[in-house]
Amino acid sequence: MIRRKIGIFGGRFDPIHMGHLIVAQDVAEKVGLDLIVFLVSFHPPHKTEFTPFQHRFRMAQLATMGNPYFVASDFERRLNLAKSYTVLVMEKLRNEFRDSDLYFLMGMDQFLTMESSWHKPERLFELAKVIVMQRPPIQNTAFAYSRFSEKAIFVKQRLVEVSSTEIRERVRRGLSIKYLVPPQVERYIYEHKLYGARR
């Protein structure tokens, strides 16, 4: 039986934006993934303020609809862990996808801090192949000195200058977020008056 290659792309997605989608599509094509699961964080361990889960998950659902290679998951909510440490969630996902190969997607910033701040980082490499997404220009060579460098798969990603923080701030200031998020996500934000939306 051919094992499927499933990418796990975790995040707050507060909100999910075009950058997330473009990068995920890019990685899927370069690595040959069959599916990317957008795993919406329920209780992010290092964050204290975030939009309620039901809104973040619904926006992720809306953003991924229409792409057969993308799916939004509420797996973390169903686990209902006090803190959604990555390795604990991945252990549960490993049981869910016994017949598939898992690929965990992470950014370079996360990779560079995982030794010092992540819960059981070495266990993650036992549970999945780790894809580190490198943003150009690649000038920081610190990753070469990480004890995990030889275990990770480094993929150069497109430069997409958009962030969830910027989007929240633009909404708060009454500025347009058109082309930064999918149209259906933009509508949802204003319909539910998220991030201080006024119209």
Residue with more model confidence, 149 or 96:
96
pLDDT at 83: 72
Cα separations in angstroms, 130 against 3, 8, 162, 164, 183: 17, 10, 24, 23, 31
How many whole angstroms separate alpha carbon 118 and alpha carbon 83? 12
The architecture in CATH of the region 4-161 reads 3-Layer(aba) Sandwich (3.40)
Q: Is 35 helix (H, G, I), strand (E, B) or coil?
A: strand
With tokens 């909510």, the residue in question is 77
pLDDT at 113: 85
What would the pLDDT profile of 77-122 be if each residue is shown by its tens digit? Answer: 999 877 778 899 999 999 999 999 999 999 888 888 888 788 888 9
* Nearest CA-CA partner of 51 in 185, 161, 183, 184: 185
Mean pLDDT calculated for residue range 31-40:
97
Confidence (pTM): 0.91
Q: Could you give the CA distance from residue 171 to residue 182 in angstroms, rounded to a whole number? A: 14
Domain-wise residue ranges, the chain: 4-161
Confidence of residue 198 (pLDDT cuts 50, 70, 90): confident
List strands edge to edge, sheet with 70-73.
Answer: 70-73, 35-40, 4-11, 100-107, 129-134, 153-156
Statement: residue 186 has pLDDT above 90: yes
